[in-house]
Amino acid sequence: MKITCLKEDLEKAVSNTERITGKNLNLPVLKGILINVNKSIVLSSTNLDLGIEIEISGKVEKEGRVVIEGGILNSLLSNIQTNKNLTLELKSNNLFITGENIKITLSTLPSNEFPLIPKPKKGKSIKIKANLFTNGLKSVWSSASNSTIKPELSSVYIYPNGEQVIFVATDSFRLSEKKILFNNIVNFEPILIPVKNVVEIIRNLEDTTGDVEIIFEENQISFIYKKQFLTSRIINGAFPDYKQIIPKEFNTEIISLKEDVINSLKQSNVLSDKFNQIIFSVFPSKKTLTIKSQNEKGENISRVEASLNGDDIEIGFNYRYIIDAFQPISSDSVSFSLTGPGRPMVIKGVSDGSFIYVVMPMNK
């Protein structure tokens, strides 16, 4: 195998593939990046949950394949200062990388042990703007659970509803739902993508301009864009009937500027307790809303300008769960809807009904 390519192109492809390499001690080849040269130059990696292939431009002098440990190759390329061509040549189970003032020799991993990355065979597909799909994922993924005890809760749930695709995630303490309008949507089966895979899907797609083709299959979801292919396994499980936990009627309503609430929350967090608890004191009868916190260092009471309606209530929440609600909300004003003590609060943008956030109060 012998190729010549731009260092910049190689470095970018290696950086993207290296993130998806595996750490399976029983299969050391998963730490590697496969460089497969067969008329074209394609870099691949997989951790058996995710797989990626990236084609780069370059001159092919001799076809072949080689697997190099991804972390080492990525570190070397990031420290090479030249932006000119690099030549990669496989000789006697070693990869030689040469260029201007550069001569590197790397040992290889057995390429015959590198697992095949499953390609889609059949399934329903849609072609959409990449930023629409990543917007859906980015709006909800932080609400997924970090624990894998219940895989369906450490996933993002995606399903079609008419001309919309709905993205949902919950860890049972908070829930996010984002509705994205797509043209010419196909009626695919609901899927669960592991949240750790969602993070990598976002990273790979968020800088992509133009369309991405998404292929839905029974056990995987695949993305084809530019000269890249990305595939993720999906979870076999049942997502909770989440609509049952979203309150329909409310006793107290708050409307305030988003930035005012965020600033008050951040101020209160400085003196929040070890549970990150902040207290919403909502008194429509006095026309006052305060957000307060207290720990052994002191106390903070921050008054927020707001429109208030309904019953008076004091209720505590985890600061982190509340602050996570605002990034997906594009509206300048937000609404907070409460049903009573011990009941969830619903947060939405006043002028944007595409996102809803439900958060449970703290028991303490």
Bin 184: left if φ > 0, else alpha if -120 < ψ < 50, else beta. left
Cβ contacts of 344 within 8 Å, gap of 6 or more: 245, 246, 247, 358, 359, 360, 361
Domain ranges of the chain: 2-113, 124-242, 246-359
pLDDT given at position 245: 92
pLDDT given at position 97: 97
Number of H helices, E strands in the chain: 6, 26
Domain 2-113 CATH (choose: 3.40.50.10880, 3.10.150.10, 1.10.10.10, 1.10.340.30): 3.10.150.10
Q: What is the CATH number of domain 246-359?
A: 3.10.150.10
Residue 78's H or E segment, with its range, is helix 70-79
More confident site: 8 or 24: 8
pLDDT given at position 141: 98
The predicted-structure confidence for 98-141, as pLDDT tens digits, reads as follows 998 899 999 999 999 999 999 988 778 888 889 999 999 999 99
Domains 124-242 and 246-359 agree in fold = yes
Mean pLDDT over all residues of the chain? 94
Query: CA 126, CA 19: separation in Å to the nearest integer?
Result: 26
Q: Which of 257, 364, 248 is nearest to 305 (CA)?
A: 257
Residue 132, phi then psi, degrees to nearest 5: -70, -45
Q: Worst-scoring range by mean pLDDT, 63-67, 169-173, 205-209, 341-345?
A: 205-209
pLDDT at 364 over 70: no
The predicted-structure confidence for 277-325, as pLDDT tens digits, reads as follows 999 999 999 999 999 999 999 999 999 999 999 999 999 999 999 999 9
Mean pLDDT of 8-25: 93
Q: Worst-scoring range by mean pLDDT, 40-44, 163-167, 174-178, 209-213?
A: 209-213
How far, CA to CA in Å, does 45 sit from each of 21, 63, 69? 6, 19, 10
Residue 98's H or E segment, with its range, is strand 94-99
More confident site: 36 or 187: 36
Query: CA 331, CA 204: separation in Å to the nearest integer?
Result: 27
* Global model pTM greater than 0.85: yes
pLDDT-derived band at 358, boundaries 50, 70, 90 = very high
- 67 neighbors 114 (Cβ within 8 angstroms): yes
pLDDT given at position 255: 98
How far, CA to CA in Å, does 254 sit from each of 63, 327, 344? 65, 19, 14
pLDDT-derived band at 355, boundaries 50, 70, 90 = very high
Q: Strands of 333-338's sheet, edge to edge? A: 191-194, 155-161, 164-170, 174-181, 352-359, 345-349, 333-338, 252-257, 307-310
- 32 neighbors 17 (Cβ within 8 angstroms): no
- Domain 124-242 is in which class? alpha beta
The predicted-structure confidence for 230-268, as pLDDT tens digits, reads as follows 999 999 999 999 999 999 999 999 999 999 999 999 999
Query: CA 191, CA 236: separation in Å to the nearest integer?
Result: 8
Q: How many CA atoms lie within 13 A of 42 on its CB side?
A: 16
The predicted-structure confidence for 207-234, as pLDDT tens digits, reads as follows 888 899 999 998 999 999 989 999 999 9
Query: CA 244, CA 165: separation in Å to the nearest integer?
Result: 19
The predicted-structure confidence for 71-101, as pLDDT tens digits, reads as follows 999 999 999 988 889 999 999 999 999 998 8
How far, CA to CA in Å, does 256 sit from each of 96, 169, 264, 288, 317? 62, 25, 12, 12, 18
- As to burial, measured by CB atoms within 10 angstroms (0-12 exposed, 13-18 middle, 19+ buried), residue 99 is middle
**Rounded to 5°, angle at Cα 322 from 357 and 171:** 60
pLDDT given at position 186: 79
